[in-house]
Structure 1
Amino acid sequence: MSDVCTSRALTTPGATVLENREIARGTFLLRVDAPEIARRILPGQFVMVRGPGEGSDDPLLGRPFALYEVRRDASGEPVSLDVVYLVIGRGTAALSRRRPGDRVDVWGPLGNGFGPSPGPGEAVFVAGGIGQTPFLALGREWLGQASHGDQPRETGTPVSAATLLYGVRSADLLAGVDDMRRAGIAVEIATDDGSAGRPGFVTNLLEERLRSGEKPAKVVACGPPPMLAAVARLAREHDVPCDVSLENHMACGFGACFSCVAPIVQDDGRPDLRRVCVEGPVFPADRVDWSKPSH
């Protein structure tokens, strides 16, 4: 895990919405004017977003969103950040109605980011549902195209290639594929209904690669727990390093409410509950106790 934590988190009350558009069925890209957060945030970290005027006195109404990408001006200075979200309840439905010029409260960066690039081999990202969102920024950084954050840190050797294995229920839910490909990240798709790419589970794509003898430098996964558990099992069977980004429900984002705990194996071999928002969301796959439910 990275040693980046929430101690440098910032609050940007009333950040201006620059863009908020639907990029797939029920999936939106939100761009906010939050330059200080954009300057500090790392791939794998997240922000909490809340709309002023809609129960904004209630901290439980914040929603966690992983960094999609940092936007920069002509000089390369970070000026805004993008997140991608799926409308699944009242909070995200309200957020989807925000228009450019509206305001939202944003606080972050929160959580721990991904570790240094594992190059010079290939990185394989595995995403299910909305789990593709952390991999644009991560892929660009690991390919050596961009750097994030304002503090010195180990970045590792760039990977020689990056591939996203992306699974969704149907083709109309695919979001950000063109962004990934423009960044040089190859994309292979699996859909439950066969409407795009290969029919079936995205983990089948990973299994075929590993069984064919491919040896990625690292596998990184984000998505529903059953998918993550399957990815962790495949990585363990083929002796491939693997990290996972957990999507546990979060209410506060900074460790106070304990709503997002996950069973994480400690150095003594026993699992203990750890807060995903503070000690994650990124964990080595072999440190998650997949036999126990997460919150």
Structure 2
Amino acid sequence: MSGTTEPSGCDGGHATLHAAYYADQACFAPATVLENEQLARGTYRMRVNAAAIAERIVPGQFVMVRVAGQADPMLGRAFALYDVVRDDAGQAVALDFVYVVHGKLTTALAACAAGRTVELWGPLGNGFDPIQCDRRILVAGGIGYTPFLAAGKESLGAARYGAPLRDGGQAAEVVMCYGVRTADLLAGEPAFRGAGFDLRVASDDGSVGHHGLVTDLLEAALDESADRRVQVDCCGPEPMMEAVAKLCLQRGTPCRVSLETPMACGIGICFSCVAKVRQPEGDWDYKRTCVEGPVFDAAKIEW
């Protein structure tokens, strides 16, 4: 990256790097925990007063998070934007992210009461570019629903994100197909319905919604949309995303996936989060999920 400027941090003032996805506009922000609310079994929504990041972040981007003053684990962990909180004047003042307790960092986060300090750097990644369509279908499995509250609200024109604010209202309707293993893992349902989503739930054990796979819900939604412009976006376990990608490819429906590849640095240095992505010439190359993703054209992923 010779000939580029140093990262500008939160204050701006430097030219961006030659590729829009590089993390040169990310900033580091110690933030106070405002809320740490349990949404489902082992699942929490944390709200932090990271205004500098909240005013810039867009749906599909993520932040890296650590607990301040805690050296174990040393590295942060990536969490997708759940939503941005604005004050009465419309200024971004805080952001929400959702996590499942699994491992040292998330266990430590679950113990953080209001007033505790965490450390964030972001916004990171490419996010979902706005796309005009009649119906946007969001397909989520497990914790993969977390990017979709903000994404769907933006599509419906109910919220705007980024600096400068991006235009919303790209879809007449948002359908969310949400798959869980069992009912007590279903999280965020009131928020999704309250945002105006057509929420359709599937569970592996039949304890809530459709007894079966989330791809069953997607097939039904696509069958209803034969004469409409449809955009599918997907996030969740890799086998589910692969199945969604293949189904959309068979039907000629555009589909993007937000990969959940584990990340160590979040800024493209360590190359631990690479994915195989097909190139225009027909072969494939490794792309870093943290900077060239996490959102990719599903048809270009070598599953």
Q: Would you call these one fold, judging by a TM-score over 0.5?
A: yes
- 2:173 alignment counterpart: 161
2:273 to 244, 252, 260: 260
CA distance 1:112–1:213, change in 2 (3 Å): closer
Aligned to 2:53: 37
CA deviations on 1:141-196 (whole Å, 9 max, x unpaired) are 1111111011365x475211001100010010011111011111111000001000
How big is the shift at 1:6?
A: 2.0
Structure 1 residues not aligned, in runs of 5+: 291-295
The equivalent of 2:8 in structure 1 is: none
Q: Please, what is the CA RMSD of the aligned residues? A: 1.6
Instruction: Return the alpha-carbon distance in structure 2 between the equivalents of residues 165 and 217 of structure 1.
Output: 14
Question: Is 1:274 aligned with 2:287?
Answer: yes
Task: Choose between structure 1 and 2 for higher RCO, CA contacts under 8 A separated by at least 6 residues.
Answer: 1
- CA shift, 1:211, in A, is 4.0
State how far apart, in whole Å, the 2-side matches of 1:37 and 1:288 are: 29
Matches of residues 198-209 of structure 1 in structure 2 within 5 Å?
A: 198-209=210-221
State the 1:54 CA deviation: 1.7
Aligned-partner Cα distance in 1 for 2:28–2:250: 43
Task: Report the TM-score when normalising by structure 2.
Answer: 0.90
Note if contact 1:24-1:172 (Cα within 8 Å) is conserved in structure 2.
yes
- Kept after mapping to 2: 8 A contact 1:245/1:281: yes
Deviation at 1:210, TM superposition (A): 2.5
Q: How does 1:9-24 map to 2 (within 5 A)?
A: 9-13=26-30, 15-24=31-40
Aligned length: 284
Query: Which stretches in structure 2 are left out of the alignment for 5+ residues?
Result: 1-18
Stretches of 4+ aligned residues off by more than 4 angstroms: 2-5
**Aligned match of 1:8:** 25
Q: Distance in 1 between matches of 2:174 and 2:223?
A: 19
The aligned counterpart of 1:103 is: 117
Aligned match of 2:90:
76
Cα contact 2:27–2:53 (8 A) shared by 1 = yes
CA shift, 1:116, in A, is: 1.0
Aligned positions of 1:11-160 closer than 5 A: 11-13=28-30, 15-55=31-71, 58=74, 60=75, 62-119=76-133, 121-151=134-164, 155=167, 158-160=170-172
Q: Report deviation, 1:117.
A: 2.9
In 1: Cα distance, 2:39 partner to 2:169 partner: 33
1:270 Cα deviation (Å)?
0.9
TM-score by length of 1: 0.92
Percent of residue pairs identical: 51
